[in-house]
Amino acid sequence: QYRRLQSPLGKRPDERAPQSRLDTNNSEQCECTALQPATAGSLGLDLAAAVETTLATTRPQKISTGIKGPICINGEPYGALLLGRSSTSIMGLFVLPGIVDPDYQGEIQIMAYTLFPPLVIPQGQRIAQLIPLPHLTKGLAPHLPQQRGEGGFGSTGAAFLTLDLHRRPKRPVTLVWEGQHTKVEGLLDTGADVSIISPEWYPPRWPSKASMDTVSGVGGFTLAKKTPLLTVWIEKQAVTTVLSIVQLPPGVQCLVGRDILAQMGLVL
């Protein structure tokens, strides 16, 4: 059953700060006009979900706010510390802290998770706050010459090599169930938590069962069917495990994830 994040009781309208506290008319680059403090004495600017969002697992998920940087106060761009609100933490939604730089021009997104999924966050629900920070490092020489622009979530951090699915190592995989065998081509992927077989490559006479487990991909979350306990053979090594049955990209028959690779001690 889905839980819905409820809006907490708010402050009286006369306690709220006037909208004139944020003046964005003095700068052409300052478009962040929808941010307001909760009350006249609030240090933070409230952030709300731009669309209804469902957290189906305990994994962190980005939540859209519809607000674009830079954050401007009285026409001047500010950085900000992004934090959760105590009211949402009590209700089981936890916001991961973050930094919004004064030269950031993309959408401000909230990274959050719940320990008790599924949780529905209604559109317009205030779930985080921005604490404005002065740009004290403005006079220091930067590592990179360019401004951040619309790059966010580690855009100036470490660079990692990513490979196309079809260029990752492939190995013949033999699946065994109650003495019956089937062979597929397995794509070895240490980035996948679980191993998956595409439904068109799973023997139709072998049993499967419905599951509430989800598999996340580019298209979002997908409910996965499960195989019975299978013996999986790769390069003369065997492990016993359960595979998820989910549609894979064209040309990929089976995705061999960390659940199998770790048991076999295979290193890519």
CATH of the domain at 42: 2.70.40.10
Q: Is 70 exceeded by the pLDDT of residue 127?
A: yes
Domain span including residue 236: 167-264
Confidence category of residue 152, pLDDT binned at 50, 70, 90: low
Catalytic status, residue 189 = yes
d(CA 211, CA 14): 51
Token pair, residue 236, equals 């003369």
Is residue 86, in this structure, part of any structural domain at all? yes
Catalytic residue among 14, 189, 193, 213: 189
194 and 125 co-located in one domain: no
Domain finish residue from 133, 159, 187: 133
Spatial neighbors of 85 by CB under 8 A, at least 6 apart, are: 46, 95, 126, 127, 128, 129
pLDDT on residue 266: 65
pTM value is 0.49
Q: Tell me what the mean pLDDT of segment 222-228 comes to.
A: 80
Kind and range of the H or E run holding 262: helix 258-264
Residue percentage of the chain with pLDDT more than 90? 37
Number of domains within the chain: 2
Are 123 and 77 members of one domain? yes
